[in-house]
Amino acid sequence: MSLSLSRSLPRALLRRSYGTVQAPPSAASLIANRIPPALQEATAATAPRTNWSREEVQQIYETPLNQLTYAAAAVHRRFHDPAAIQMCTLMNIKTGGCSEDCSYCAQSSRYSTGLKATKMSPVDEVLKAARIAKDNGSTRFCMGAAWRDMRGRKTSLKNIKEMVSGVRAMGMEVCVTLGMIDENQAKELKDAGLTAYNHNLDTSREFYPSIITTRSYDERLQTLSHVRDAGINVCSGGILGLGEADSDRIGLIHTVANLPSHPESFPVNALVPIKGTPLGDRKMIPFDKLLRTIATARIVLPATIVRLAAGRISLSEEQQVACFMAGANAVFTGEKMLTTDCNGWDEDREMFERWGFYPMRSFEKEGSTQPQPAVEAAPVAHDSASAAPAAASS
């Protein structure tokens, strides 16, 4: 068809003509008119700041996604080695039977999920699992217990401290998630060698009561404060796909960005709906929302490790890589992540190999709140006139 058409057209019409070659617009000027002021300032930052307004976080979150991920990648390169990804393994050391009512959780005793409650795992069994994780390339070992808090759990705390010391003795970073803890428990864990304590805020302050009623947002913040005061790294992030709106994802990032210091680690979980829980029929968060949240977190929390956590198994390899390119730099890997399936070590190693990533060394990010010196700020100029909001509420 095209052959006969070309035969029937005069030669002059078929000849392709080229105009004078103009100098292409600079990358800076191309993106300048799409970048809101808050993002311009953030991409030029050389240190984390803890005085974010919610409007600033919103401006960043609502930047067109291709610009947002470009800026996030630039910030990522300034504060981190963009090829290094931390491999963590998370083991449940006490499963099920929890008195709390977190609407997403398989381990709450309030929901019929079919999960069998167990006693706490013996110390030697946990250390064996940590050794396997280390031998497979994980550099951080995390241990989770399904309960509300550590009150009246003296024997458990003693055993957990043994686990913490044992894992540290292997040269691994060690993290625990044990619900609410007080100042003394935090100090004891610190003395045992704990690297980080995970306690997620889950979502915004406003949306939180629709997800959990048995403990308050302020109680969660109180635990984070005990952890921080004890000199333990804070790991605190959220869960996406709970039914929250964009404003709640913005609210979550805004809250952690204004803590006295940014968390060392910010896990971004995609809800894994568990049958029998109130959120058992929810759909996976749309990928663009997940990516947008990761990129915003990377920019607003520039020195923090942004952790692609639960739900990663539902992402394609290309989607995972898009998250790494937008600033995620840690994953959970191994046989299980608490009670849900997890991408395995071999699969992750192969993915890293294909895309040019490598596992972060233990303690590589320790105390790193300063930017990497060799990378320059992203070229952005100041012009907010045409900043276009791109995200709608879910």
Residues that bind ligand SF4 (CB under 6 A): 98, 100, 102, 105, 107-108, 146, 179
- Our answer to whether residue 88 is catalytic in this structure is no
Closest approach of Cβ 267 to ligand SF4, in Å? Answer: 13
The CA distance from 246 to 224, in Å, is 24
Nearest CB to ligand SF4, comparing residues 105 and 279: 105
Instruction: Look up 98 and say whether it is catalytic.
Output: yes
Among candidate residues 88, 142, 323, 342, the one labeled active-site is 142
342 catalytic, yes or no? no
Is 102 labelled as part of a ligand binding site?
yes
The Cα-based distances of 26 to 31, 69, 77, 377, 379 in angstroms read 9, 19, 20, 15, 9
CB of 394 to ligand SF4, least distance (A): 22
The dihedral built from the CA positions of residue 325, 371, 268 and 54, taken in this order, carries a sign that is negative
Virtual torsion, Cα 212, 185, 121, 235, nearest 10 deg? 60
* Catalytic residue list contains 175: yes
Q: Is 142 annotated as a binding residue?
A: yes
Residue identified by tokens 């401290």 is 161
- Please identify which of the residues 88, 102, 323, 342 carries the catalytic annotation: 102
The active-site residue, picked from 77, 215, 307, 312, is 307
User: Which of residues 40 and 107 has its CB atom nearest to ligand SF4 in the complex?
Assistant: 107
In angstroms, give the least distance from the CB of 201 to ligand SF4: 12
235 among the known binding-site residues? Answer: yes
* 31 three-class SS: helix
CA–CA separation, 209 vs 377, rounded Å?
40
Smallest distance, ligand SF4 to C-beta of residue 190, A: 22
C-alpha 79/C-alpha 303 separation (Å) is: 6
The DSSP 8-state label assigned to residue 295 in this structure reads H
Instruction: State the catalytic residue, choosing from 88, 105, 323, 342.
Output: 105
Pair of tokens at residue 132:
């396997």
Mark whether 307 is an active-site residue.
yes
Residue 323 marked in a binding site: no
Q: Which residues are annotated as a binding site?
A: 98, 102, 105, 142, 175, 235, 307
Residues annotated as catalytic are 98, 102, 105, 142, 175, 235, 307
